[in-house]
Amino acid sequence: IGQENRIQIHVPYLIGTAQERMFRWYNEALNIFSNISPTAQTLQENFIVDLKDCLLADLGQQFEDLLEAVSVQREALEAELQAGRDRLLEYNSCRPVVAQEIVQALEEYDDNTTLPMFMKRFMASTNIDFDEQSNGTVIIKPTDQMQVQGLTLDEEGMTATFYRDQAQIREDAQYLTLEHPFTESVMEMINTQGFGSTNVAVLKSAALPQGSVLLEVWFKVDVIAPKALNLPSSLPQQLVRVLLSEKGQDLSQKIAPEILKPYLHHLDGNSCRQVVKARRDVIEARYTQALELAKAALPEFKQQAKDVYSKKWQYEIDRLSYLKQFNPSIREDEITRLQKLQKEGLSLLDGLSVTPEAIQVMVVVKP
């Protein structure tokens, strides 16, 4: 800070003594006076025996050869290290192409209406007051008829917005994103409670037997593990869909959810209860079958997840192990820690299981 001139390094030594040879070692072999040399310590440790012999006595050409050999090896190691460090620098540098992609993704996220529509439908379903204002904000308040508990919403409610520009100019409006505590509490409630996970509908179709029942079950592939391991990201899929006819025929691959959706008409609560009561035996039998089919897919999921997880951690282990050869600041315990995490994750993936996420009963009627 405030430097105006190049730094001048003065190294006094006695000519013809070990001091001069030590200076030449640092300057010509390790090059530590002109540049930062991350390989210096490694080279000195590797050649310390030869260096000591040359310091104790003037060995003439043998010392000259040592300087030349170490200098050549230093340049080679620095070139390899630089090639490896280029990627490390990218992690801490601004790459314009990647940065622009992130900016574009954020802009698309801001323009996305999925979250506002989802929250609006959730409020309507749970009897939470959701009052949209003309200035782009919403007022969310609990009501006496609210059907859920445990949300991060106090009695006074809150003023919020889904738009970044509004949140920047309105101090009283909270910016609702997927990371907002209220949104997270909504997602957590949906994932852990039974609200919204069951449905009974009428399916208008001439291709299926009239009056028959179809059962569609979505299972979540679960693995119990610390969040730091991020095991779900290694799973080939986190949901398994099973669609069964009344007679037990597996229609999962033949009829996609998108095909069913236009022909479904949801029933009210009273009608739902009547359908479930009348066809309980069939529904329970088909659910048991669906659960077995979902469990049968686990061995393949488990192997695929292990392959992905193992390769991801092995890449980091190999990278650090390679860099450690030239960079003494990389400790062995760092590599050991990664190996431990890899082993722990592979062990936990053996405990892969499925839990029901959503169930839909469909009664076939004439179009």
pLDDT digit string, tens, across residues 254-290: 999 999 989 999 887 788 889 889 999 999 999 999 9
Give me the phi and psi of 94, to 5 degrees please.
-90, 115
Q: Is the pLDDT of residue 136 over 80?
A: yes
The CATH number of 106-192 is 3.30.360.80
d(CA 159, CA 129): 12
Is pLDDT of 303 > 90? yes
For the chain, the structural domain boundaries read 18-91, 106-192, 198-365
| pLDDT given at position 183 | 93
Candidates 195, 235, 220, 246; CA nearest to 362 is 246
Which range among 190-194, 313-317, 318-322 shows the weakest confidence by mean pLDDT? 190-194
Which contiguous run of DSSP H or E holds residue 200? strand 198-204
Radius of gyration of the chain (CA): 33
At residue 140, the 3 state secondary structure works out as strand
Closest by CA to 218, choosing from 10, 357, 53, 54, is 357
Torsion angle of C-alpha atoms 87, 93, 94, 98, degrees rounded to 10: 20
Tokens of 292: 């077995």
- The one-letter code for the residue type at 183 is T
Closest CA to 128 of 114, 145, 115, 113: 145
Q: Dihedral sign for Cα 337, 342, 348, 352, please.
A: positive
Per residue in 194-229, pLDDT (tens digit) is 666 788 999 999 888 899 999 999 999 988 888 888
